[in-house]
Amino acid sequence: MEFFAVKKGSEPAGRSLWNWTLGALVLLLAWEASGLDVPLARLAAGGGHGFTGRDSWFAGVLLHDGMRHLAFAAGAWLFAGVWWPVGVLRRLSRPARIQWLASLLLGVALVNLLKYASRTSCPWDLAEFGGAVAYVNHWAWGQADGGPGHCFPAGHASAAFAFIGGFFVLRPVSPSLAVRCLAVVLAAGLALGLAQQFRGAHFMSHTLWTGWLCWAAAWGLDGAVRMAEKQRTCLS
């Protein structure tokens, strides 16, 4: 499959990645236009006046606190692996390991920067779900809803999605391993997003945007690295 292949001197893989990235953005915008965020939140709330999953051990302790600690451990593994590679990191060059770490930090920074600027509050803050504020779309920049804000996009899901850069650095080494890495990261990110959805901490679009932003950050960084490598080759 050309999506996973890396062929020096050819462009099909790059075009395919562009098509997938743009296609995912179109689907994401279609989700936004559908207005399904609030209906899905009502479903997660179980028709009640609040989110029963907010105090759930499974969603709150295991999938929130536990996965956050696991993400910190994975980040430490990746950071230390730049100098002392263990496991799959042994198959990557040091520049590739640095790129993976950089894409992780870039994704987390991008998501948190947007969260800092966002004035949108979380579902559990809405009057409909037991809070005190009215719903304001997260794209209504500058329009406050009267709540604490800083809810968009989903920071917790980035604990998984930020590792998506592994796909790009693993493709030249092993396309099949890159696919497995991508599948695990996407599944973990969606699982964390759904857990937060049932707790009332985020709308589904928050999770989807986090996934796309982390992908776009890693993809852009990979493109910049490849362009720099090509320029060095031309100059040598």
Decide if pLDDT at 196 tops 50.
yes
Helix (H, G, I), strand (E, B) or coil at 133: strand
Q: Which pLDDT belongs to residue 56?
A: 84
Phi, psi of 121 (to 5 degrees): -90, 170
Least confident of 3-17, 35-49, 104-118: 3-17
Decide if pLDDT at 8 tops 70.
no
Q: Which pLDDT belongs to residue 48?
A: 65
| Cβ pair 167, 178 in contact under 8 A | yes
pTM over 0.75: yes
Q: Which two tokens stand for residue 29?
A: 């915008």
Which has more pLDDT, 12 or 122?
122
Q: Which pLDDT belongs to residue 142?
A: 79
Q: Determine the residue type at 223.
A: G
Q: Which pLDDT belongs to residue 192?
A: 95
Decide if pLDDT at 122 tops 80.
yes
- Phi-psi map region of 35: left, alpha, beta (phi>0 left; psi -120 to 50 alpha): left
Decide if pLDDT at 10 tops 60.
no
Q: Which pLDDT belongs to residue 236?
A: 66
231 Cβ contact partners less than 8 Å away, ≥ 6 residues apart:
none
Decide if pLDDT at 134 tops 50.
yes
- Distance CA(192)–CA(97), nearest Å, equals 25
DSSP class of 132: S
- Local confidence band at 5 (pLDDT 50, 70, 90 cut-offs): low
| Cβ pair 159, 134 in contact under 8 A | no
Helix (H, G, I), strand (E, B) or coil at 52: helix
Q: Stretch 178-207: mean pLDDT, rounded? A: 96
Share of the chain above pLDDT 90, in %: 75
Q: Stretch 189-202: mean pLDDT, rounded? A: 94
To which residue do tokens 């986090």 refer?
210
| Cβ pair 160, 71 in contact under 8 A | yes
205 Cβ contact partners less than 8 Å away, ≥ 6 residues apart:
28, 31, 32, 37, 138
Q: Which two tokens stand for residue 160?
A: 């998984």
Average pLDDT, the chain: 91
Share of the chain above pLDDT 70, in %: 93
Decide if pLDDT at 74 tops 70.
yes
DSSP class of 86: -
